[in-house]
């Protein structure tokens, strides 16, 4: 039994993408692979708004989130924390044996640029991690303003996760001065899980040169050395690269600006629905995500029953909230290939499910 996914990752994958994944295999050291690899670089660089190469990692996003720490942290890392993924990054820093400090907020509260400045002025840090869009709480951090502060600290390497915002809205890596920008495959890109993309500044590569225990699998210099030959360090997830090429063609056909506009429109449809139903969004006002909506459960919703109703009647898989706010919130995705029709249809399903499972006092 398979369910139509309305969750914020993995998101629903199109039939065309699945077909592309079934392409016949090629050798990863063959000229055919080099052609494939090099053919998608210009599109990837355009979407990352960068002149730097874009590397392909055979791992989920966490692979490169951990790998980035191992490549650049020498002195200490400041981990901005405000939800499940960013909290975990602090934990991962410590597990890598790095000197790490938390800049911590309540879940749903946005990271504030002035707090970052205050922390970095101590001179203690050479690295910072930031999640642009905290998927667990549906909160979007003010990247433009945060990067303006980080540019005041050129010795601090910025590692930015845009797993659930890449191609939802422009994230201009070079203009903003992001050193390491990384994303995964199964959220905004609407590919199956298992692949990550990352682009690294010259400064971050230089830093990595001075860090001894980078390991092998996620070593920035291994990525770069192989990239220069149109290859990846180890055997990559070639099926995903075929699928990525297909999705890039879809993105180009739609036009990247039209894609951003579509995401805004779909997001506002969901927000209107939330307001019209007397519900509210979980994040701090003004920092609501454009990729997904995290809705507070005011107590009127029996979310497990709504979930069962959607599965049984509409073959639809909803999100029931993440981590410690599971049940207190639920999330509605608008990333990937969603359309006005698919979002309206899903909101209609939700209405019926809410009506059918109403909590009676
Ligand atoms: C999903 C997600 C991740 C982790 O992705 P994995 O594919 O599980 O490694 C990291 N950051 C954000 C913001 C995410 O939404």
pLDDT digits (tens, 9 = 90+) for 334-349: 999 999 999 999 999 9
Burial 339-349 (b: 16+ CB within 10 A, else e): eeebbeebbeb
Measured in Å, residue 311 CA sits from the centre of ligand 1 at 25
With bands split at pLDDT 50, 70 and 90, how would you rate the model's confidence at 324? very high
Q: Does residue 153 carry a pLDDT above 70?
A: yes
3-state secondary structure of 331: strand
Domain boundaries defined on the chain? 4-10+255-356, 15-252
Q: Which two tokens stand for residue 257?
A: 């600006």
Q: Does residue 26 carry a pLDDT above 90?
A: yes
Is CATH 3.10.310.40 what the domain over 15-252 is classified as, yes or no?
Answer: no
With bands split at pLDDT 50, 70 and 90, how would you rate the model's confidence at 1? confident
Contact residues for 310 (Cβ-Cβ < 8 A; gap 6+): 316, 317, 318, 349, 350, 353
In eight-state DSSP terms, residue 320 is -
Is CATH 3.90.1150.10 what the domain over 4-10+255-356 is classified as, yes or no?
Answer: yes
Q: Which two tokens stand for residue 55?
A: 């590397």
Element (H, E) at 31: helix 31-48
- CA 129, 131, 132 angle in degrees (round to 5)? 125
Residue with CA closest to ligand 1 atom 15: 135
Euclidean distance between CA atoms 173 and 182, whole angstroms:
10
By most ligand atoms within 8 Å of CB, the mutation choice from 7, 9, 167 for ligand 1 is 9
Measured in Å, residue 5 CA sits from the centre of ligand 1 at 17
Q: Once rounded to an integer, what is the mean pLDDT over residues 241-248?
A: 98
**Among residues 150, 196, 193, which one has the least CA distance to residue 175?**
150
DSSP 71-137: HH-SS-EEEEESSHHHHHHHHHHHHTT--EEEEE--TTPPP-HHHHHHHHTTS--SEEEEESEETTT
By most ligand atoms within 8 Å of CB, the mutation choice from 63, 161, 237 for ligand 1 is 161
Residue with CA closest to ligand 1 atom 7: 60
Q: Does residue 361 carry a pLDDT above 80?
A: no
In the beta sheet, which residues pair with residue 219?
Answer: none
Percent of the chain exceeding pLDDT 70 equals: 99
Handedness of CA 68, 69, 75, 78 (dihedral sign): positive
Ligand 1 atom nearest the C-alpha of 162 is 13
By most ligand atoms within 8 Å of CB, the mutation choice from 187, 218, 283 for ligand 1 is 187
Residues with CB under 6 A from ligand 1: 9, 60-62, 85, 131, 133, 135, 161, 163-164, 184, 187, 193
At 139, give phi and psi (nearest 5°). -110, 135
3-state secondary structure of 316: strand
Reported in sequence order, the residue ranges of the chain that DSSP labels E, i.e. its strands, are 4-5, 54-57, 77-81, 100-104, 127-131, 133-134, 139-140, 157-161, 180-184, 196-200, 280-281, 292-296, 316-317, 329-333
Measured in Å, residue 126 CA sits from the centre of ligand 1 at 24
Q: Once rounded to an integer, what is the mean pLDDT over residues 257-262?
A: 98
Euclidean distance between CA atoms 152 and 132, whole angstroms:
19
At 326, give phi and psi (nearest 5°). -60, 130
Euclidean distance between CA atoms 358 and 353, whole angstroms:
8
Confidence at residue 360, expressed as pLDDT on a 0 to 100 scale: 67
Euclidean distance between CA atoms 206 and 221, whole angstroms:
9
34 CB-contact burial (10 Å; exposed 0-12 / middle 13-18 / buried 19+): middle
Q: Quote the pTM value.
A: 0.97
Q: Which two tokens stand for residue 161?
A: 């996760």
Q: Does residue 240 carry a pLDDT above 60?
A: yes
With bands split at pLDDT 50, 70 and 90, how would you rate the model's confidence at 250? very high
Confidence at residue 12, expressed as pLDDT on a 0 to 100 scale: 97
C-beta separation of 166 from 195 below 8 A = no
At 62, give phi and psi (nearest 5°). -60, -30
Measured in Å, residue 361 CA sits from the centre of ligand 1 at 38
Distance from the first to the final alpha carbon of the chain: 35
By most ligand atoms within 8 Å of CB, the mutation choice from 69, 79, 111, 135 for ligand 1 is 135
């Amino acid at each position: 039994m398979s369910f139509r996914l309305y969750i914020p990752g993995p998101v629903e994958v199109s039939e065309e993408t699945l077909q592309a994944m079934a392409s016949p295999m090629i050798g990863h050291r063959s000229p055919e692979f080099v052609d494939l690899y090099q053919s998608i670089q210009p599109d990837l660089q355009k979407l990352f708004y960068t002149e730097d190469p874009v590397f392909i990692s055979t791992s989920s996003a966490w692979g490169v989130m951990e790998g980035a720490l191992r490549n650049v942290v020498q002195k200490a890392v400041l981990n901005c924390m405000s939800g499940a993924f960013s909290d975990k990054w602090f934990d991962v820093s410590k597990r890598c044996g790095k000197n790490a400090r938390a800049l911590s907020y309540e879940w749903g509260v946005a990271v504030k640029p002035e707090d970052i400045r205050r922390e970095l002025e101590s001179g203690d840090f050479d690295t910072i991690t930031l999640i642009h869009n905290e998927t667990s709480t549906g909160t979007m951090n003010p990247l433009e303003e945060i990067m303006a502060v980080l540019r005041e600290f050129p010795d601090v390497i910025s590692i930015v996760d845009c797993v659930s915002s890449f191609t939802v809205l422009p994230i201009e890596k070079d203009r903003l001065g992001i050193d390491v920008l990384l994303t995964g495959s199964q959220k905004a890109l609407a590919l199956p899980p298992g692949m990550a993309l990352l682009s690294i500044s010259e400064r971050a590569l230089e830093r990595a040169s001075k860090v001894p225990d980078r390991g092998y699998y996620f070593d920035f210099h291994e990525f770069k050395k192989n990239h220069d030959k149109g290859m990846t360090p180890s055997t990559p997830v070639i099926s995903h690269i075929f699928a990525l090429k297909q999705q890039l063609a879809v993105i180009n056909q739609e036009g990247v600006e039209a894609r951003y506009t579509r995401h805004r429109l779909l997001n506002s449809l969901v927000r209107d629905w939330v307001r019209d139903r007397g519900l509210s969004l979980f994040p701090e006002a003004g920092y609501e995500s454009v990729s997904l909506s995290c809705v507070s459960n005011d107590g009127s919703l029996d979310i497990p029953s709504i979930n069962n109703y959607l599965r049984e009647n509409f073959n639809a898989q909803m999100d029931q909230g993440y981590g410690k706010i599971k049940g207190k919130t639920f999330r509605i995705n608008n990333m990937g290939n969603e359309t006005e029709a698919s979002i309206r249809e899903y909101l209609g399903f939700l209405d019926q499910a809410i009506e059918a499972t109403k909590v009676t006092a």
